[in-house]
Amino acid sequence: MTTFPPAAGSERPAATPSSGSRRAPAPPTSLSPSRASDFMQCPLLYRFRVIDRLPEKPSAAAVRGTVVHAVLERLFDAPAADRSVPRARSLVAREWERLLAKRPELAELFAEETGAGADGDGDSAAELASWLAEAEALVERWFTLEDPSRLEPAERELFVEARLESGLRVRGIIDRVDVAPSGEVRIVDYKTGKAPPPEYAGGALFQMKFYALVLWRLRGTVPRRLQLVYLGSGDVLTYDPEEADLEGVERKLLALWDAIERATETGDWRPRRSKLCGWCDHQEHCPEFGGTPPPYPLTIQPRLPEPREGSDESPAGA
């Protein structure tokens, strides 16, 4: 197995604001993998998250993923010989407490899910203990997929941002970047869920190709390998991209951004119903479920209709 050397001067991304903070609505100025996926899943969901910034209740699964990611990042602070299963498991409770200090509202998460009240503290404590044990199991499974004692990541939780030739600003946070002695780059992303069926692997790789595109535009070299580590099922999905792949992703992003700009200007954000709607926090605002979106907070700028193909019509006054 190749050993990847440590990097010097690695920068860390700035802390993101807590879910309780709300900024004034504003047009989007950049695109990330998550928000691109939101728009492809449901344009109205994108609006609720990016423009309206509607609050969303944190889930136990999402918070567990945050804790597990923090453990896998922090474990590399230890010398290679000390990156053991017991040490990693011990970091779970510590990272949970660290996250709780930043976001005290998460203390209500288990009480809300178990209905714990004055007489329910025992149930709440048991739920938390079970949740921590599940996180520890995910961390332990990672050791069956990779050997951290033989890895020295070049970057961890790397914030990347690039401006494409079109002017579109693309950005994201990469879980891990490994650089081999040969200079070849591997992008690694941890997932606490299960690997998708083969027919859905393309969707799972979209995020990784997005990251690869950003690094390519920043550094001028296509990453050698993209690697998704699924801790929920114990699977590793790899893909070796080529320039043509990333050029295709760039074209797709430009088309997405054009659609986002058009919806932003016109206020026309269409809901798209799917099986994922069952997990959406915004059903009360969604027309598909009898809800009404909040008033559109941006100025609407109607676009002229697109000319019909083959039409000789010209704009009035031309």
Residues 166 and 35 in one domain: yes
Residue 310 lies in a domain: no
Alpha-carbon gap, residue 72 to 191, rounded angstroms: 11
Residue 316 lies in a domain: no
Contact between 249 and 206 under an 8 Å Cβ cutoff? The reply is yes
Residues 34 and 158 in one domain: yes
Residue 177 lies in a domain: yes
Residue 272 lies in a domain: yes
Residues 94 and 201 in one domain: no
User: Could you read off the pLDDT tens digit of each residue along the chain, which spans 318 residues?
Assistant: 333 333 333 333 333 344 445 678 889 999 999 999 999 999 999 999 999 999 999 999 999 999 999 999 999 999 999 999 999 999 999 999 999 999 999 998 987 554 544 445 667 889 999 999 999 999 999 999 999 999 999 999 999 999 999 999 999 999 999 999 999 999 999 999 999 998 888 888 999 999 999 999 999 999 999 999 999 999 999 999 999 999 999 999 999 999 999 999 999 999 999 999 999 999 999 999 999 999 999 999 866 666 666 655 544 444
pTM for the full predicted model: 0.84
Residues 6+ apart with CB under 8 A from 240: 224, 225, 226
Residues 128 and 226 in one domain: no
Residues 45 and 160 in one domain: yes
Residues 100 and 242 in one domain: no
Residues 157 and 143 in one domain: no
At 49, the amino acid letter reads: R
Q: What is the pLDDT of residue 8?
A: 30
Longest dimension (CA), the chain: 76
**Count, residues in the chain:** 318
Nearest to 109 by CA among 119, 118, 100, 101: 100
Residues 173 and 273 in one domain: yes
Based on the number of CB atoms within 10 Å of its own CB, is 189 exposed (0-12), middle (13-18) or buried (19 or more)? buried
Q: What is the pLDDT of residue 25?
A: 85
Question: Given 148, 183, 200, which residue is the final one in a domain?
Answer: 148
- Angle CA 38–40–41, to nearest 5: 65
Residue 127 lies in a domain: yes
Question: Given 101, 126, 148, which residue is the final one in a domain?
Answer: 148
Question: Given 103, 118, 148, which residue is the final one in a domain?
Answer: 148
- Token digits for 9? 């001067």
What secondary structure, in 3-state letters, does the chain show? Answer: CCCCCCCCCCCCCCCCCCCCCCCCCCCCCCECHHHHHHHHHCHHHHHHHHHCCCCCCCCHHHHHHHHHHHHHHHHHHCCHHHCCHHHHHHHHHHHHHHHHHHCHHHHHHHHHHHCCCCCCHHHHHHHHHHHHHHHHHHHHHHHHHCCHHHCCCCEEEEEEEEECCCCCEEEEEEEEEEECCCCCEEEEEEECCCCCCHHHHHHHHHHHHHHHHHHHHHHCCCCCEEEEEECCCCEEEEECCCHHHHHHHHHHHHHHHHHHHHHHHHCCCCCCCCHHHHHCCCHHHCHHHCCCCCCCCCCCCCCCCCCCCCCCCCCCCC
**CA distances to 47, 76, 77, 115, 152 from 81, in Å:** 47, 10, 11, 43, 12
Residues 36 and 180 in one domain: yes
Residue 164 lies in a domain: yes
Q: Domain of 36: which CATH number?
A: 3.90.320.10
Residue 290 lies in a domain: no
Question: How many domains, the chain?
Answer: 2
Residues 200 and 278 in one domain: yes
- Residue 76, domain extent: 57-148
Measured in whole angstroms, the distance separating CA 159 from the mean position of its chain's CA atoms is: 12
Residue 22 lies in a domain: no
Residue in the structure block whose two tokens are 């070796």: 240
Residues 66 and 203 in one domain: no
Residues 61 and 43 in one domain: no
